[in-house]
Amino acid sequence: MDENLKREVILDNYTNPSNRMRVEDEKYIYVNSNNSSCIDNIDLWVLIEDGFIKDLKFDGEACAISTSSTSIMTKELVGKSTKEAREFIENFYNMIEEREYDKETLNEALVYDTIYKQANRKTCATLPYKGVLDAIEKYEHGTH
Amino acid sequence: MNVLKDFPMLNRDLIYFDNGATTFKPQCVIDAITDYYSNYTANAHRGDYDISLQVDVAYEATRDKIQEFINAKHREEIVFTSGTTDSLNMIVNGFFEHILDPGDEVIISDSEHASNVLPWFRLANKKGIVIKYVSLDDNFHVTVDAIKRVITPKTKVISLAEITNVVGDVRPIKDICEFAHKNNIFVVCDGAQSVPHKKCDVQDSDVDFLTFSAHKMCGPTGVGVLYGKIELLENLDPVKMGGGMNESFDNEKAIFLKELPMRLEAGTPNIAGVIGFGAAIDYLNNIGMDNILVKETNLKKYLVEKLSTLSHVDIINEECDSGIVAFNIDGIFPQDVAIYLNKYNVCVRAGNHCAKILKKAVGVKNTVRVSLYFYNNKDEIDSFVELLKDRDKIMKEMI
């Protein structure tokens, strides 16, 4: 993807993020995701029913990379089964960590394919995914 | 004041505006440390041979320099620690834990650094002391009047930074001490952000305890000072027990400790650090603390003047007198601003600056912080402001 287009997608998702709103509904699993190395702090509300992610909302204070990555993630993961979500996330991590990965399935999330060049921003891009994994685990362990 | 040649780090292509975090070291400090490691490495206060004696002389000479630097009455009042955090923990856990009773009140503020908050929180949980907060005025300043409003007959301690690391407000420590002592209240002063920047006189301010760190004043990391009035230090229980601090011991009932200050410096101290600290004090004295204050005040004024012309910049602490400027850029997360500036080799800090409870007072959780030191200059400020002029450029280049 062209660098200018990547920047545009990131900025668009930063300034006008999708699914940014707080949720007050007990059906949603709430998780907070933050980095000890920086000041990003994101709240996530995940609705999982019958093994499928039905809805995803977020709010918080975070940098352009974290915020845009969260916005993109919410669009990509809704509608996926928890198994499919895990696969997507694993593939995303593979890209971030410069391992082999499948380009075809990441869609907009591909904009972070060169983020490894800024090592300190890798944790920003993966921050929301860490939160969703926590939420899936809560769901699977029935601790929600 | 031409100091550029003195600092190896200032001869790199960098603009360093994070002096509240740590400062650069002049060559004379680096040389003093190298000299110890190259020419007279030995332990302190131990050996009967020449180089060990040489270490003693250099180590203790720093104590004398510090005593003079803060105008302490006795050299025994200067205790070397690993830094301000260590010093504050020793004061809370070694002194106040033994003299405070449940219900006794300690006054701090919302803009204190974590190291002047968490030790007190722990003591509150452990002993049932009560933490109270002095309210900040509209410019985030602490006034004696505000302190008068918050004290009660139960108040035993006021523990405040003289200058805070987030908004850089300067507290009237001398007036606070005068009022506090009339009411039998102890005053602990966190000097980490003030001792490096302005003249300090503990006899004039009459503060009971003062803490500061070498690395924020051109010295090495891992060294700091705990100052306490001698009659208080006599009652400060060592938090650490071990070598170098005991006279003799036969069994658990027969432990004899050394005199001050050795009693509070258990284990092999940071000898190289203390020696380097001595060189840093010499260096600062040579420039003159009054000159340092004037230079920083002028730089801060200049920076605020220039930044104020940018409509997308919101300065949080325009009214504060120290070299700290906290600001935000409209619609851009502070960390993104810092990352953008880093692309131009400008070092600033973004975040909450370890003052996590400040939000309730200032209403802003995170900021970009510029913290100046005497070796910064107007050219750097010009380049810095130029980089911030165009908000769209920041947006475009921050990712």
The predicted-structure confidence for B20-33, as pLDDT tens digits, reads as follows 999 999 999 999 99
Chain B residue with Cα closest to A8: B396
Residue with token string 């036969």: B250
B365 CB near a chain A CB, below 8 Å? yes
Q: End of a domain among B230, B257, B286?
A: B286
Contact A39 B350 (CB under 8 A): yes
- DSSP code of B363? S
Report residue B352's pLDDT band, with 50, 70 and 90 as the boundaries: confident
Question: Chain-wide mean pLDDT for chain A?
Answer: 93
pTM: 0.91
Q: End of a domain among B230, B253, B286?
A: B286
Q: End of a domain among B245, B265, B286?
A: B286
Task: With beta carbons less than 8 A apart as the criterion, state whether A12 and B395 touch.
Answer: no
- Residue B163 has which token pair? 């200058």
Neighbour-count burial of B133, counting CB atoms closer than 10 A to its CB (0-12 exposed, 13-18 middle, 19+ buried):
middle
Predicted confidence (pLDDT) per residue in B57-66, tens digit = 999 999 999 9
Report residue B190's pLDDT band, with 50, 70 and 90 as the boundaries: very high
pLDDT at B156: 98
pLDDT reading at A144 higher than 90: no
Of A7, A11, A39, the CB nearest to B335: A39
- Residues in chain A closer than 8 A to B365 (CB atoms): 61
Determine the structural domain holding residue B123 and report its residue range.
28-286
- Residues in chain A closer than 8 A to B330 (CB atoms): none
Which residues, listed in sequence order, are joined to residue B248 by a DSSP beta bridge?
B256
| CA–CA separation, B212 and A115 (whole Å) | 39
pLDDT at B357: 61
- Residue B395 has which token pair? 């947006």
pLDDT reading at B362 higher than 80: no
Query: Which CATH number characterizes residue B62's domain?
Result: 3.40.640.10
B394 CB near a chain A CB, below 8 Å? no
pLDDT at A118: 86
Chain A residue with Cα closest to B367: A39
Report residue B224's pLDDT band, with 50, 70 and 90 as the boundaries: very high
User: Do B273 and B175 share a structural domain?
Assistant: yes
Predicted confidence (pLDDT) per residue in A88-119, tens digit = 999 999 999 999 999 999 999 999 999 988 88
- Residues in chain B closer than 8 A to A120 (CB atoms): 339
| CA–CA separation, B159 and B186 (whole Å) | 8
DSSP-derived secondary structure for B283-295: HHHHH-HHHHHHH
- Overall average pLDDT of the B369-381 stretch: 97
Note if B177 is an active site residue: no
Alpha helix (H) ranges present in B234-352? 271-287, 289-308, 334-342
pLDDT at B143: 95
User: Do B99 and B13 share a structural domain?
Assistant: no
Question: Chain-wide mean pLDDT for chain B?
Answer: 94
B328-333, long-range: CB < 8 A, 24+ apart: B328/B364, B328/B366, B328/B367, B328/B368, B329/B368, B329/B388, B329/B391, B329/B394, B330/B391, B331/A15, B331/B391, B332/A64, B332/B391, B332/B394, B332/B395, B332/B398, B333/A61, B333/A62, B333/A63, B333/A64, B333/A67, B333/B366
Residue with token string 């910064």: B376
Q: Dihedral of the CA atoms B147, B150, B155, B160 (nearest 10)? A: -40
User: Do B87 and B235 share a structural domain?
Assistant: yes
Domains: count for chain B: 2
pLDDT reading at B100 higher than 70: yes
DSSP H/E element including B396: helix B391-397
Domains: count for chain A: 1
Of A39, A62, A65, the CB nearest to B399: A65
Chain A residue with Cα closest to B342: A118
- Residues in chain B closer than 8 A to A70 (CB atoms): none
Predicted confidence (pLDDT) per residue in B284-300, tens digit = 999 999 999 999 999 99
Of A7, A40, A120, the CB nearest to B399: A7
- Overall average pLDDT of the B243-271 stretch: 92
Contact B333 A63 (CB under 8 A): yes
Determine the structural domain holding residue A25 and report its residue range.
3-140
pLDDT reading at B281 higher than 70: yes
- Overall average pLDDT of the A66-78 stretch: 97
pLDDT reading at B358 higher than 90: no
Q: Residue B130, SS3?
A: strand
- Residue B164 has which token pair? 């805070």
- Residues in chain B closer than 8 A to A40 (CB atoms): 335
Residue with the bigger pLDDT between A1 and B213: it is B213
Query: Which CATH number characterizes residue A44's domain?
Result: 3.90.1010.10
User: Do B260 and B125 share a structural domain?
Assistant: yes
| CA–CA separation, A73 and A107 (whole Å) | 10
User: Do B226 and B337 share a structural domain?
Assistant: no
User: Do B275 and B352 share a structural domain?
Assistant: no
- Residue B346 has which token pair? 């400008």
pLDDT reading at B353 higher than 90: no
User: Do B9 and B136 share a structural domain?
Assistant: no
Contact B399 A40 (CB under 8 A): no
- Overall average pLDDT of the B371-390 stretch: 97
pLDDT at B47: 74
Contact B399 A61 (CB under 8 A): no
Query: Which CATH number characterizes residue B360's domain?
Result: 3.90.1150.10
B367 CB near a chain A CB, below 8 Å? no
- Overall average pLDDT of the B111-129 stretch: 96
pLDDT at B4: 93
Contact A39 B396 (CB under 8 A): no
User: Do B248 and B137 share a structural domain?
Assistant: yes
Chain B residue with Cα closest to A9: B399
Of B331, B351, B399, the CB nearest to A39: B351
Could you tell me the strand order of the sheet in which A41-49 lies?
A29-34, A41-49, A52-61
